Every structure is written in C-alpha cells, then in structure tokens.
C-alpha cells in the first residue's frame, strides 16, 4: 500500500472563523486534547503544549515535570495551515506527518486533518494506522476539538 493510500484523512466543520479555530487548535490545545486516552502519560498528563512557529515542540508535560515529545512544527501558517511531525512515544526516527488545514466555509471553518508517513513504522504501520483511523483515533480527538470550538463560539 502506498503512502497516499495509507493516509488517514478526517474532516470536521466548526461554527467559528478560521482564525478562532486555529487559535483553539493550537494555543488552546491543553483545554481540549483528550490526554487521558490520547497521550503517553495518560492520567499523569498535566498539560499538552504546541509551541507556535516552525521548529516549535508538540509535547505533553506530566505531573512530575517530565515531558514526552510528540513531534515538531514543520510549517506554521496561521490561520490556514499547520504541519507537524508526529511520533508520540516512538522517537523522531519513526516520525509521521500530520497536516491540519483550516478553510472558511459558509457556517464557519472546515478542518481537514491528514496523517501520512505510516511506512516509517515498518511492520507495525498497518496496525498503528488502523488505530488512528478508528472512531477512537483522530475522529475522537477532532470531536473534542469541535466541542471546544462550540464552547468558544
């Protein structure tokens, strides 16, 4: 299966303009990211941080002060687009790429998330990809984001 065929793509619409959606997704990530179920430290996560700008870190900080890096910001184009490497708990040698685009639509913003680079995981690629493509994967994460966008609107 090619990288394009393996891509996990999810779309959601939120009832706020792209600049607000981008801000909630990035600066407000600690308020909505489901760390108990989508992190390395689970119930020990104190916060999730997405540092702005290319080169910024994407990480979780645990209650004991330790950190687990999930990736790095590769492209930062507010309010239209964000691209990050993605390797929570795996190390940067196994980094995939997550791109999130924020497009204005009549009632707010369409948010398109595309996760690629699964082949870097070798034999584990299909199983890990399936977990992100499942209802409990990116779909659940984006549902939390959409709920935060509703609260902000």
CATH number of 83's domain: 3.30.530.20
Residue 20 in contact with residue 152, Cβ under 8 Å? yes
The pLDDT profile of the chain, 153 residues, written as one tens digit per residue, is 555 678 999 999 999 999 999 999 999 999 999 999 999 999 999 999 999 999 999 999 999 999 999 999 999 999 999 999 999 988 888 999 999 999 999 999 999 999 999 999 999 999 999 999 999 999 999 999 999 999 987
Which range marks the domain in which residue 46 is found?
3-152
Report how far residue 58's alpha carbon sits from residue 49's, in angstroms, rounded to the nearest whole number.
6
What global pTM score does this model have? 0.95
Count of structural domains, the chain: 1
E strand or H helix at 105, and its extent?
strand 96-105
pLDDT of residue 90: 84
């Amino acid at each position: 299966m090619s990288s394009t065929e393996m891509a996990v793509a999810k779309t959601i619409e939120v009832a706020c303009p792209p600049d607000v959606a981008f801000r909630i997704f990035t600066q407000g990530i600690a308020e909505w990211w489901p760390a108990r179920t989508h992190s390395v430290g689970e119930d020990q996560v104190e916060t999730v941080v997405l540092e702005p700008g290319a080169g910024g870190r994407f990480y979780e900080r645990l209650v004991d002060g330790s950190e687990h890096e999930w990736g790095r910001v590769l492209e930062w184009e507010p309010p239209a687009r964000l691209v990050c490497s993605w390797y929570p708990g795996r190390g940067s040698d196994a980094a995939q790429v997550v791109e999130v685009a924020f497009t204005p639509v009549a009632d707010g913003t369409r948010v398109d998330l595309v996760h690629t680079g699964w082949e870097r995981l070798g034999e584990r690629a299909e199983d890990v990809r399936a977990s992100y493509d499942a209802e409990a994967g990116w779909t659940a994460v984006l549902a939390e984001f959409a709920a935060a966008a509703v609260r902000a609107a």
